[in-house]
Amino acid sequence: MSFTITTANVNGLRAASGKGYVEWLTATSADVICLQEVRAEPLQLAEHVREPEGWHTLWAPSTAAKGRAGVAVLTRQEPLARRVGFGSAEFDTTGRYAEVDLPGLTVASLYLPSGEVDTPRQEEKERFMAEFLEYLKSLRKRAEEAGREVVVCGDWNIAHREVDLKNWRTNQKNAGFLPEERAWLGRVLDEAGYVDVVRRLHPEGPGPYSWWSYRGRAFDNDAGWRIDYIMTTPGLAAKSLAAHVERAPSHPERWSDHAPVTAVFDDLG
């Protein structure tokens, strides 16, 4: 038995649902799906999207700003627990983090702020990063003590290394590839002790990219970024068998500017 987890930034689930998301969900064989940028409250979603047959759902919309952010976790199994937020006074109502417990495993969906240099939104991103890193450490520690594994997946809005985006040279002063952001992602790995599973299984770059701007010809030119990550505790990473990015072949198939990122693990037993 294997266990498959997929993360996808849907860039507006109402729009995506009319462009192929529903068909994609019907066809997927994943056991767990983490969504980001749902950009809707559950009641704004069609029922077959809000409560898809065969899935349990946790919706965590932004209550701070309508139509922004919003994460979700879909599981075939009924979760033992559902939690929204990570204990942050500033961020728990902003639809950026939710987690569920399955037997022996905590699964989290993360949508880290995008940021924009020289704006308050970059400061917000930095505050999020500082606070969230501490949470990641405590999460890992608690899981270790309890003998549980953790997977935090989602849109981290940071490319880690040069190999993680096509135009790294021209983006060194742009949000998403700033030295301090890259260093922070290094601390998630080295200090908090998580493993970037896709990179573990695909040590060679470039890519695989998971996001292409809608602007210009980014998708056609494969001018992508790898900013969607599946980060796991080491014990879970050791059981990873395969990983891939579902790059849509062309526009009619593309229902988001991000592509779903998937990892397969050996029986969690």
Q: Which residues bind DNA (CB under 7 A)?
A: 11-15, 19, 37, 39-40, 44, 66-69, 113-116, 121, 157, 213-216, 257
Distance CA 157, CA 56 (A): 27
- Closer residue to DNA, CB minimum distance, 25 or 143: 25
Is residue 266 among the annotated active site residues? no
Cis? peptide before 206, omega within 30° of 0:
yes
- Closer residue to DNA, CB minimum distance, 35 or 237: 35
- Closer residue to DNA, CB minimum distance, 49 or 263: 49
Q: Are 73 and 47 in contact (CB under 8 A)?
A: no
We find the least distance from the C-beta atom of residue 132 to DNA, in angstroms, to be: 15
- Closer residue to DNA, CB minimum distance, 26 or 119: 119
We find the least distance from the C-beta atom of residue 103 to DNA, in angstroms, to be: 33
Catalytic residue among 155, 164, 196, 228: 155
We find the least distance from the C-beta atom of residue 156 to DNA, in angstroms, to be: 12
Phi, psi of 20 (to 5 degrees): 130, -10
**E-assigned strands of the chain?**
2-9, 32-36, 56-60, 71-75, 81-84, 97-102, 105-111, 149-155, 195-196, 211-212, 224-225, 228-232, 240-245, 261-266
Task: Give the residue numbers marked as catalytic.
Answer: 155
